[in-house]
């Protein structure tokens, strides 16, 4: 995650983001009676469409660390101390590799030109968690009669279903993949994505899953909804079904997207170019890659999702 962050100019925010992911404590902590108040406080930082529990927590951490008003009542001070310690450790480790200097953690540094780009940060979360992929199954579109004809009715979150894609099973084509091998899962009620219903791309990634002691359910925690090009660029290897214009992600065929074959060919080539550029950067940390055509192409795809 941090190697990509240094390359894509989001290091200042990726450091605390990675530190939050490394902490074994939740950022928001409250007693059972205050759980709803803590969740409402957390939701304030997801209101602007972060589409990620991690980005909501990152915004909350930045708000708390800056001493901004209003003061947050349910942020764990112990977690904040852990995050700050992890940030120092990660920054020192990056400095030793030569990938970043201490100045690069400053938001004004050229290494952080894209630090405010949530789409890039969501893609990096996915890159760090891949291949943890959950498919979102959306029911058929419903319509409502109006005087001029019919209009589509938005789905509610409770109408969606989620399935953990089997990314480690036997190799199979996307047409022969047995969906019964995919495990039904549910977004945890404490997730900022629990009531989200508008998934433009039908997949998410998650950091952890927990089981309910009272029901046979597996819950997703720390959910992030990246774009389709994050899936294609940072997910498992791609294969192309030219006849049906389908790109399968991974060998099992559990995840597939409809796209022109040339899209997969170009993405595969871009992945190879990016891997080669990062290899050269690791061998020669002084090599400047900011503004490199490969980096700029990846950033543009992540920002626009190819649109």
- Lookup: tokens for 188: 């945890």
Q: How far apart are CA 39 and CA 267, in angstroms?
A: 39
Q: How confident is the model at residue 111 (pLDDT cuts 50, 70, 90)?
A: low
| Residue 298: pLDDT over 70 | yes
Q: How far apart are CA 114 and CA 67, in angstroms?
A: 24
φ, ψ at 229 (rounded to 5°): -75, -20
Quote the pLDDT of residue 262.
93
Mean pLDDT of the region 144-171: 87
Quote the pLDDT of residue 149.
85
Per residue in 160-189, pLDDT tens? 999 998 887 767 777 777 777 788 999 999
Q: How far apart are CA 68 and CA 57, in angstroms?
A: 15
Mean pLDDT of the region 243-253: 88
- Lookup: tokens for 75: 């942020």
Q: How confident is the model at residue 116 (pLDDT cuts 50, 70, 90)?
A: confident
User: Running DSSP on this structure, what letter comes out for residue 105?
Assistant: G
Per residue in 45-58, pLDDT tens? 997 778 999 999 99
Write 27-33 long-range contacts (CB < 8 A, 24+): 27/57, 27/60, 27/61, 27/75, 27/76, 27/79, 27/80, 27/83, 28/57, 28/60, 28/74, 28/75, 28/76, 29/74, 29/75, 29/76, 29/79, 30/74
| Residue 110: pLDDT over 80 | no
Following DSSP, what letter does each residue of 61-92 receive, concatenated?
HHHHHTTPSSPPSSB-HHHHHHHHHHHHHHHH
Sheet containing 238-241: order of strands: 238-241, 246-249, 255-258
| Residue 224: pLDDT over 60 | yes
Quote the pLDDT of residue 85.
96
Mean pLDDT of the region 262-279: 95
Report the percent of the chain where pLDDT is more than 70: 95
Quote the pLDDT of residue 129.
87
Q: How confident is the model at residue 109 (pLDDT cuts 50, 70, 90)?
A: low
| Residue 278: pLDDT over 80 | yes
Q: How far apart are CA 214 and CA 19, in angstroms?
A: 32
């Amino acid at each position: 995650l941090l190697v990509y962050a240094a390359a894509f100019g989001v290091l200042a925010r990726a450091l605390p983001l990675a530190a939050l992911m490394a902490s074994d404590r939740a950022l928001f902590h409250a007693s059972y009676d205050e759980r709803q108040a803590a969740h409402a406080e957390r939701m304030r930082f997801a209101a602007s469409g972060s589409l990620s529990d991690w980005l909501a927590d990152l915004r909350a951490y930045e708000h708390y660390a800056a001493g901004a008003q209003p003061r947050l009542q349910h942020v764990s001070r112990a977690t904040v101390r852990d995050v700050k310690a992890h940030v120092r450790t990660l920054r020192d480790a990056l400095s030793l590799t030569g990938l970043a200097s201490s100045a690069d953690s400053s938001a004004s540094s050229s290494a952080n030109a894209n630090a405010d780009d949530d789409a890039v940060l969501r893609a990096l979360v996915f890159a760090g968690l891949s291949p943890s992929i959950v498919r979102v199954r959306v029911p058929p579109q419903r319509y409502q009669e109006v005087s001029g004809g019919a209009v589509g009715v938005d789905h509610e979150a409770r109408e969606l279903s989620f399935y953990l894609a089997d990314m480690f099973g036997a190799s199979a084509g996307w047409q022969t993949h047995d969906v019964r091998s995919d495990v039904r899962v549910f977004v945890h009620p404490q997730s900022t994505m629990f009531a989200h219903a508008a998934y433009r791309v039908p997949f998410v990634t998650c950091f952890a899953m927990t089981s309910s002691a009272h029901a046979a359910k597996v819950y997703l925690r720390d959910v992030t909804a990246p774009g389709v090009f994050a899936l294609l660029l940072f997910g498992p290897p791609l294969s192309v079904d030219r006849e049906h214009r389908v790109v399968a992600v991974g060998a099992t065929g559990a995840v597939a997207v409809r796209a022109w074959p040339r899209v997969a060919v170009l993405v595969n080539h871009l992945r190879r170019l990016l891997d080669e550029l990062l290899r050269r950067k690791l061998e020669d940390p002084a090599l400047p890659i900011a503004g490199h055509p490969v980096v700029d192409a990846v950033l543009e795809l992540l920002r626009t999702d190819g649109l």
